[in-house]
Chains A and B, each alone.
Chain A
């Protein structure tokens, strides 16, 4: 059986080489060679020591490898039918609780708000659709996206991920998910031509007509001609003097509308001036908004603004969150205002009820034509924790966070452990959290502005919001581990997370300090998640064996048969 190659070990010729000794220890030498080795080691203490060391090395290796240093991961325990059965009630409970939570959320917050928006002229859309999907951004989605549908989609995505996790490599699964999302995003877009114009000054000439949507970026955008579609403005100054058949979405310093817009206007500006006509509704976040005497908005108007002046005509309701509001024109519907001051001038005409919630009573001219006297209620700032409703919702939200954490932990056990481990690196986590908290929204905004990165920007922003929400779960798990001890077992970790999240949310309610605690939790949690993601993409950092517990059994299992030489 002397088929082994020459051994590449250096030795002085009088002693056995290490390869021969190893093969002897491993029982791989033939009878003759084995006897020679045996005879030599009887007279040579140095070779005998080497044999003994090699044999001990074999034993050490076997013992080190056989030691049960970590329990079977919960994911593997859950792999079996028995465990799968036990998982069913979790998903049942999760779905039930999610549905209950969604209902509570919807009836408690969304529906009343929706009703108010409905009154303000946003009929036919739900709130989520209004804020995210409505208008030209996501055409075709409006009719299908509701809160419950979104939740159902998330659940399906979760189950899909679980399915892929069990059957495919992680990278492939991730790639499929991303490809799926991209495909869905692409497919949901309308098959309509879009035009992108860039430059210091972007102009649509008087005699020019653009068929399809127009995306513009530049210092000054001037539209004198016609656009048969929506217009997206990312600029410093915008003048709309022509005719736009669709919506106007504006991110600009100053927007002046003196032409005709057949659709809605959604603007994020410093100043918005309407002296032309807007056929449908207007939603604005601005420093100052003016609808001058020649201006006309056919639908309703919702504003989040510092100063609002309505001198022209508004067809339907007016919903205002502003510091100072001045109405001297016509409002076809009701007025609901919240702010510091409301002034209704002599030329004002309001066909619906006027409700004002503010610091000071409204100034109403005696010559103003109002359908009914202004209903005024003084705005009193009471600390929210003085109301019992605050605590009820706090409990509901804590339960929702825990439920979300439960699903997330079970869905991604390995990543959860990595994240909790990362959170133990306090300094790095906090620093990274600081970076992510501020840089991601900025980067997402920049991505949105560059038009082509709109999807990336929105996705990054959505992920960032998700991180905000998950941060408390990570910190909760860490706090739980501080109190109840370190664990690698998933259900124990979930138990610690539950305790930790409750404590963290209680701590966040401490007056004055609560805000700082919340900020700390956000920074720490976001940083830990980011660090875990970073480490996931840099596997070299992860390629370290886990630390074994100290209660390692000292002896080998009885059936171990390593290291016994077989002389023949």
Chain B
């Protein structure tokens, strides 16, 4: 599970649970950047991510008593964040999602391994983030949960409301969507340079 790279804040959590505002401030200070980044990747706009981060932390403050200290704090945090972001996305029905639903049953084309390897080799983080922003909400959410917060297939299934066995398919479809977006961006960039 990826975390902001700090040790378990057991003491701060205990103090925050007891109502210590300063301890809560410490937790916020340590984890807000990671949660903001999570929201930034999962939600379409920066403003959405800002709103979501604040709402998640307000929610966390109320839910802190429910946290099980035997589990990693960051896992719990990401679970709450994923839940909030997915709720936010689900409330917005976009045309893109309709298209995604329509194409769910279309078989995926088997990639050419060498070509795929080259595509991955040539792409930068900036390009990936840009492409990620163009994906449908489920694809983006699945990728963020898996590759940003390292959530398990069970947790992803739980959040997305799909069978565990279907998570791999969701991720694979998301990767295909992402590759198409990456290829599209590259084509656009090439066109723009002409």
Contact = CB atoms under 8 A, between A and B. Distances in A.
A417 B53 CA distance: 18
Contacts of B159: none
A552 interface: yes
B164 A3 contact: yes
Contact of A22 (B5, B124, B165, B171): B171
Nearest to A547: B126
Contact of B5 (A47, A544, A559, A562): A559
B47 interface: yes
Nearest to A4: B165
B113 interface: yes
A57 B169 contact: no
B115 to A, nearest CB: 9
Contact of B120 (A8, A10, A53): A53
Interface string A19-58: 1001100101000000000000000001101101110111
B186 interface: no
Chain B's interface size range is 35 or more
Given A166-B54, A169-B51, A11 B46 contact: no
Contacts of B107: 8-10
Contact of B37 (A9, A23, A66, A169): A66
Contact of B169 (A3, A10, A19, A52): A19
A508 B125 CA distance: 44
Contacts of B50: 73, 75-76, 413-414
A68 B5 CA distance: 13
A170 to B, nearest CB: 7
Given A50-B111, A58-B147, A68 B33 contact: yes
Interface string A527-546: 00000000000010011111
A60 interface: yes
Interface residues of A, number: 67
A544 B133 contact: yes
Interface string B109-120: 111011011001
Contacts, number: 176
Contact of B147 (A18, A65, A557): A65
Interface string B36-61: 11001100111100110110010000
Interface stretch (B8-16, B21-29, B76-84): B21-29
B36 A17 contact: no
A311 B125 CA distance: 83
B172 A22 contact: yes
B29 A80 contact: yes
A61 interface: yes
A526 B150 CA distance: 45
A560 B28 contact: no
Given A18-B111, A81-B21, A543-B45, A4 B168 contact: yes
Contact of A560 (B2, B106, B117): B2
A49 B113 contact: yes
Interface string B89-117: 00000000000000000111111011011
Of the candidates A60, A62, A417, the one having the most CB atoms from chain B within 10 angstroms of its own CB is: A60
B141 interface: no
B85 interface: no
A552 to B, nearest CB: 6
B2 A28 contact: no
B17 interface: no
B117 A53 contact: yes
A64 interface: yes
A39 B144 CA distance: 31
Contact of B132 (A9, A53, A66, A545): A545
A57 B3 contact: no
A89 to B, nearest CB: 19
B75 interface: no
A542 B45 contact: yes
A513 interface: no
Given A60-B125, A72-B36, A65 B54 contact: no
A28 B170 CA distance: 14
Given A47-B113, A64-B124, 8 more contacts: A18-B111, A19-B169, A46-B113, A60-B120, A69-B125, A81-B21, A81-B24, A548-B126
20 contacts: A5-B166, A7-B169, A9-B110, A10-B107, A18-B110, A26-B153, A60-B128, A61-B143, A64-B129, A64-B132, A65-B132, A65-B147, A76-B50, A170-B51, A539-B44, A546-B129, A547-B126, A548-B126, A562-B2, A562-B150
